[in-house]
Amino acid sequence: MVFSSSVFLFAFLPAFLAVYFLMPKRAAKNIVLLAFSLLFYAWGEPVYVWLMVFSIGFNWAFGFAISKSATPPLRKFLLVADLFLNLLILGFYKYQGFLAENVNRAIGEEFIAELNLALPIGISFFTLQAITYVVDVYRGQVKAQKNPLYLGMYIAMFPQLVAGPIVRYSDIEAEIDNRRATLAGFAQGLRLFCVGLGKKVLLANTAGTLADSLLPREAAEIGFVGCFSGVAAYTFQIYFDFSGYSDMAIGLGKMMGFDYPRNFNYPYTSKSATEFWRRWHMSLGGFFRDYVYIPLGGNRVSTPRFVLNTMIVWGLTGIWHGAAWNFVLWGLYWGVLILLEKFFIMKVLDRLPGFVSHIWCAVLFFFGWLLFAVTGLSNVAEWFCAMFGAYGFTGTSTLWELQSWSYVSLIPIFIVGSLPWAPWLRKKLQAWAEGDPRRAVMAAPAKGNEAVPPCQAELAAPAASPARARAVLAVNIAVDVALLAVLVLSAMSVVSSSYNPFIYFQF
């Protein structure tokens, strides 16, 4: 089940909200959330729901045992055992086929049988969440959850179960028992859900239609125009797809009183590879920083060890995304670029106009998505060559056959959709409403972020000036009407179209 499906929008979500808010006690709400989360997962993975329940059970047991143990060696043994079991399950289901294929190819015979296992949806995300819980219990940063059902609710929580953001237990520890759902919070969450649904259905699916028609084809067949158009379309598709899902997840959490961490902060406005990864999939970057990079020593080590630590993190980031060599290469690509920026490139870019840095970063993520989207290293090499004209302008196809021209008018919409114009405009309007052009304060800052995501909070009405108060009210009403239109258009698109992929389900 996906958020942008008829069954979720018109059946599952209304039923869940009705039952959830009918429950008078917080404990009952938590059980309802767990039950609906398991139903949500079983809808798409009926065979693997037992795996989810098993993950909940053993992570609860290890976390509880660690909290009760006062012997450091035993605590460390329990932690290592839990990490081993989590990673063993993830590795078996996600990487067994990849390992078997490469080992068998290396030795020239079938040494390991390829089991062709179906990948349990969201296993990478809920495994990392479980790991953060047990590690934080070991570190003493959170208390072990005594109630296994409540831990199950955290691990299986359907809003962010299958594609993030990666929510740490510490993010919602207090909210499990003490969260408070309000009408204002529900409205903010609904607004953000509408924004995310529009990103996914109206923008990502549109860009994905072109991307999916070009990416599977040979570079020699479609030439420069086809290859460039395919990667450009994928660049917008993956952003709107994943950030849209994150917006919907955060919005659903806010409806219930949970404050999930922000996962995207307009990454396509970045000026460097380092900044890009501070803005893209922020919860994953935070995980690798706090649970891999810093334990390895971070940057408080010798230069050779710093280089090694960085490459380990980025190698793991690549392989986490998928069991294929192009993902490994993609991760190492970003690791090398970040190191080059650290030691050389940023010293040059800092002396140049800002637009040069923007162009530099745009080139980086464009070719990065080429590695990400095109499977097979030989195909990647051919597509790379096509970008520099190796197969001509259109290859063996005609411009009409490639259909790229029909998407040209949508490029400004995609660009505007990926820029922070909404927060910028809100700041200007808020400053005007308050009568102080020097001030640009958001009405309700998001936890851990400098700015509220677009449409998550209303403009605050000024204390004085009735005319400006009426203007603010009119703007808020106009925004809500626009979001209602986005919701209606998205729902119509969901009902009428069978094309509705979610890219990050495969990771």
Q: Which residues are catalytic?
A: 321
Side chain identity, residue 308: L
Q: What angle in degrees, to the nearest 10, is found between the helix axes of 205-214 and 219-256? A: 150
Beta strands in 278-343 (DSSP E): none
Asked if 443 and 430 touch (Cβ cutoff 8 Å), the reply is yes
Task: Please state, as a whole number, how many other Cβ atoms lie within 10 Å of the Cβ of residue 447.
Answer: 9
Nearest Cα to Cα of residue 156 among 177, 179, 127: 127
HSE (CB half, 13 Å, CA atoms) of 15? 12
Helix, strand counts (H, E) of the chain: 23, 0
Angle at 192 between CA 187 and CA 194, to 5 degrees: 95
Asked if 144 and 66 touch (Cβ cutoff 8 Å), the reply is yes
Residue 71 in 3-state DSSP?
Answer: coil
Asked if 457 and 443 touch (Cβ cutoff 8 Å), the reply is yes
d(CA 140, CA 218): 53
d(CA 388, CA 473): 52
On the question of a cis peptide bond just before residue 165, with omega within 30 degrees of 0, the verdict is yes
First to last CA, the chain: 16
d(CA 90, CA 96): 9
d(CA 476, CA 18): 27
Asked if 197 and 490 touch (Cβ cutoff 8 Å), the reply is yes
The dihedral region occupied by 392, where left means phi > 0, alpha psi between -120 and 50, and beta the remainder, is left
d(CA 21, CA 32): 10
The dihedral region occupied by 448, where left means phi > 0, alpha psi between -120 and 50, and beta the remainder, is left
Asked if 362 and 333 touch (Cβ cutoff 8 Å), the reply is no
Side chain identity, residue 104: N
Per-residue burial over 175-186, b if 16 or more Cβ lie within 10 Å, else e, is bbeebebeeebb
DSSP state of 293: I
